[in-house]
């Protein structure tokens, strides 16, 4: 199983817009990531996002690059301060590849829990609009497959 953890793309400051939609840079970044991912032929069963607008917009943009049989859907357990253990337990039974679009510190804690058994251990760096691919082997052990950030794809 592959699990793609995605931190939402850059959002507008709360002072500018309390709903915090994606900024112009955030939209450009996630579109660049989606365009690159499209060339890799990634397929997942579903793309889940938190209830926040910036995560929804990021998920919808990613859906242009990732083939998702089940589409894009809001899911519980992806808010910034949610307990990562709840989602980690749900993932134990999951067999199909998934995308989770969320926030820090939740994604970092989930990665720490899956990879090192400790939600407080920082095992991978997240960036706005970046994707961290985790892979689970037949024994249930997780490892980092790859990491992609908008900066890696930035035009020179």
> What domains are there in the chain, each with its CATH number?
1-11+18-63+80-98+109-131+144-156 (3.40.50.1240)
pLDDT at 117: 97
Mean pLDDT value of segment 7-12: 98
Mean pLDDT value of segment 72-100: 96
Asked whether residue 156 carries a pLDDT value surpassing 60, the answer given is no
Q: What's the chain's average pLDDT?
A: 96
pLDDT tens by residue, 17-29: 999 999 999 999 9
CA 71 vs. chain centroid, Å, equals: 15
pLDDT tens by residue, 91-100: 999 999 999 9
Q: CA-CA distance, 14 to 120, in Å (whole number)?
A: 27
Name which of 103, 90, 127 is nearest 49 in CA terms: 103
CA atoms within 13 A on the CB side of 140: 9
Which band of pLDDT confidence, cut at 50, 70 and 90, is reported for residue 154? Answer: confident
DSSP result, 129-149: T-EEEEEE-TTS-EEEEEEE-
């Amino acid at each position: 199983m592959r699990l793609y953890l995605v931190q939402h793309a850059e959002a507008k400051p709360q002072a500018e817009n309390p709903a915090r939609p994606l900024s112009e840079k955030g939209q450009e970044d996630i579109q660049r990531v989606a365009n690159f991912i499209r060339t890799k032929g990634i397929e997942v069963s579903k793309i889940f996002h938190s209830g926040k607008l910036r995560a929804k917009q990021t998920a919808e943009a990613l859906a242009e690059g990732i083939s998702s049989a089940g589409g894009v859907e809001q899911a519980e357990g992806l808010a910034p301060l949610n307990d990562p253990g709840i989602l980690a337990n749900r993932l134990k039974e999951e067999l199909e590849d998934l995308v989770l679009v969320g926030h820090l510190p939740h994604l970092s804690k989930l990665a720490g829990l899956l990879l090192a058994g400790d939600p407080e251990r920082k095992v991978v760096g997240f960036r706005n609009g970046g994707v961290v691919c985790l892979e689970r082997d037949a024994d249930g052990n997780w490892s980092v497959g790859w990491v992609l950030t908008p900066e890696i794809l930035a035009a020179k």
